[in-house]
Amino acid sequence: MISQVFILSSKGDHLIYKDFRGEAKTDAVNLFYEKVTDLPGDQPPVVMTCEGLHFIHVRQGGLYFVATTAANVSPFTIIEFLNRQVLTTLIKDYCGTLSEKSVRMNFALIYEMLDEMLDYGYIQTSSTDILKNFIQMEAVSSKPFSLFDLRSVGLFGAETQQNKVAPSTAASRPIMSSRGDQESKNEIFVDVVERLTVVIGSNGVLMKADIQGEIRVKCYLPSCSEMRIGLNEEFSIGKSQLRGYGAAVRVDECSFHQAVRLDEFENYKILKVCPSQGEQTVMQYQLCDDLPSAPPFRLFPTVERDSGDRLLIYLKLRCDLPPKSAALNVSVTIPVPKGSLSLSQELSSPDQSAELQPSCKAIQWEIPRFPGGAQLSALLKVEVPGLSAASLLEVGPVSMSFELPKHTCTGLQIRFLRLSPVQPGPSQHWVRYVTHSDSYTIRI
């Protein structure tokens, strides 16, 4: 049971405060903020205890979501409550985005939600479907959805709609917008999102590869009885079902939302789900070690010492994606020795940049767009006074972050998306694929 729930901004402003049981003092908020800011480093532990009260908090979007409790409850329940299932996801569902601004603008709505979700600190319900019947207030969207947004860049492709493209902001709006634009609401988004963790050893051998993926459905349809999502026919789970031929898509482990019906999954790889309004994760899967294709990036580094106090780092970076796709917002971080003073660089095109960041002793090489099959190179000369052989060891490991739109590393595809019964009026469904780098490390 939860005693209090509050939301603080990073500066400690109270955005939301609700006391459910009246057991704790009201200064608990300040107590929490003092404790959080007192901790060394900016990564405090998740659970803190003070005067018999446990504070459990989650940080997202620069905000602290805190629950306090006096009982020794399940940490998973509270963290999930604060996290995925309820607060942050629901706030995203109702208010569009999760930011200090949207929480401030919709504070009354959030109070209303909290009131319906928790009674006396006990979780009553968290399903958007049920809550929707009780929530009376309308969300104030910080950025109204307009046609103007359609022209914004950063578009994802949609496989099922040949030429139309969904704006990347289209899915970040409240599920219950004002009555005006009823027409444009009949949309459903199915996102396949994968997070990639890779470690490549200094000899170029793939040491670790790990993909965490999920299929997320974001539904704006007012009512929808059943949706059928067809996955690749060669989709298999577990190591035993190895097949010798074809482009089989394999994952190690897979779990489904409890509302998903799997009676056609075994034979036809079809997920049947009745999506409720808002966002939900229909399927989660993971794959370890056996990547079906080569990792997206390969790095060939050479680190040398100049005759003087200069360190020469020559990097050749190859993108092993198919030529049609491209990686966006690629950022390469190369740690350099402690005393590094200045940097001069030779990059292969003007839209790239490389900067020395003295605070974290690293060079940041930014590539806005990196087409598949291409190879880029950079020559970085770093001035290090008192360079010794030992400081060469301080160079590396290189870490990269990037985004691969229209690409899944497991090869998982959605064959079709069917709604039944067919929706009256125009409705659109979008399928989007994206792979994010969770952690991509290349040892030197």
Partner 1 sequence: MPYLGSEETLKELKRALSNSNVQADRLRYRNVVLRVIRLMTQGLDMSSLFMEMVKASASVDIVQKKLVYLYMCTYAGLKPDLALLAINTLRKDCADPNPMVRGLALRNMCNLRMPGITEYIQQPVLAGLRDKASYVRRVAVLGCTKMQNLQPEAEIDGTVVNELYGMLRDPDPVVMVNCLRALEEMLKAEGGVVINKPIAHHLLNRLKELDSWAQSETLAFLLRYRPRDEAELFDILNLLDGHLQSSHSAVAAATLRLFLHLADAHPAVQADALSRARGPLLAACASRSRELCFAGLCHVQCILRSVPGQYAAHYKRFFCSYSEPGYIRLRKMDILVELVNDENVALVLEELRAYCTDVLPELAQAAIFAIGRIGRMYSERCLGILTDLLGLRQEHITSAVVQTFRDLVWLCPQCAASVCQAIIGCEENIQDSEGKQALIWLLGAHGDKIASAPYVLEDYIDSLKTELSSLVKLELLTATVRLFLSRPAEIQDMLGRLLHYCIEEESDMCVRDRALLYYRLLHCGVDETRRIMGGPISDPSLGVITGHPDEPVNNWVAHFNTLELLFTRGIGTALPSKGGSDSMALSIAGCPLVVGETGEDPLHTSTEDGPDFSLSLDPPLSPESFEQHWLRLDVSHTGTMVFPGSDCAPETLQAALQLVQIQALAFSRSDSLPWKAYLYSKSSGTLILAELLHSAPPHLQVTVKQVPRDECALQGFITVLETALQALRKEAT
**Residues in region 15-44 near partner 1 by CB under 8 A:** 15-19, 22, 41, 43-44
Q: What track of x and - describes contact with partner 1 for positions 108 through 147 (by CB under 8 A)?
A: x--xx--x---xx-xxxxxx------x-xx----------
Indicate whether 373 belongs to the interface with partner 1 (CB under 8 A): no
Indicate whether 232 belongs to the interface with partner 1 (CB under 8 A): no
Question: What is the DSSP code (8-state) at residue 117?
Answer: H
Indicate whether 10 belongs to the interface with partner 1 (CB under 8 A): no
Q: How far is the CB of 43 from partner 1 (least distance, A)?
A: 4
For partner 1, the closer of residues 21 and 316 by Cβ is: 21
Instruction: Using alpha carbons, select from 40, 118, 49 the residue that is nearest to residue 86.
Output: 118
Amino acid at 141: S
Q: Are 365 and 352 in contact (CB under 8 A)?
A: yes
Indicate whether 45 belongs to the interface with partner 1 (CB under 8 A): yes
Q: Which of residues 66-95 bind partner 1 (CB under 8 A)?
A: 69, 72-77, 79-85
Indicate whether 195 belongs to the interface with partner 1 (CB under 8 A): yes
Indicate whether 325 belongs to the interface with partner 1 (CB under 8 A): no
Instruction: Using alpha carbons, select from 184, 181, 277 the residue that is nearest to residue 227.
Output: 277
**Lookup: tokens for 43:** 């990564």
**Lookup: tokens for 28:** 């608990």
Q: How far is the CB of 426 from partner 1 (least distance, A)?
A: 32
Q: How far is the CB of 422 from partner 1 (least distance, A)?
A: 30
Which of 101, 143, 164, 208 lies at the binding interface for partner 1 (CB under 8 A)? Answer: 208
Indicate whether 258 belongs to the interface with partner 1 (CB under 8 A): yes
Q: How far is the CB of 76 from partner 1 (least distance, A)?
A: 4
User: How many other β-carbons are positioned within 10 Å of the β-carbon of residue 240?
Assistant: 6
| Residue 384 CA, distance from chain mean position | 37
Indicate whether 300 belongs to the interface with partner 1 (CB under 8 A): no
Indicate whether 386 belongs to the interface with partner 1 (CB under 8 A): no
Indicate whether 410 belongs to the interface with partner 1 (CB under 8 A): no
For residue 272, give every residue at least 6 positions away whose Cβ sits within 8 Å of its Cβ, in sequence order, or none.
226, 227, 228, 229, 260, 261, 262, 263, 264
* Angle at 197 (CA atoms; ends 441, 360), nearest 5 degrees: 40
For partner 1, the closer of residues 155 and 328 by Cβ is: 328
φ/ψ of residue 36, rounded to 5? -65, -45
Question: What is the DSSP code (8-state) at residue 83?
Answer: I
Which of 25, 393, 416, 418 lies at the binding interface for partner 1 (CB under 8 A)? Answer: 393
φ/ψ of residue 180, rounded to 5? -55, -60
Burial class (CB in 10 A: 0-12, 13-18, 19+), 17: middle
Which of 54, 92, 173, 429 lies at the binding interface for partner 1 (CB under 8 A)? Answer: 54
Indicate whether 402 belongs to the interface with partner 1 (CB under 8 A): no
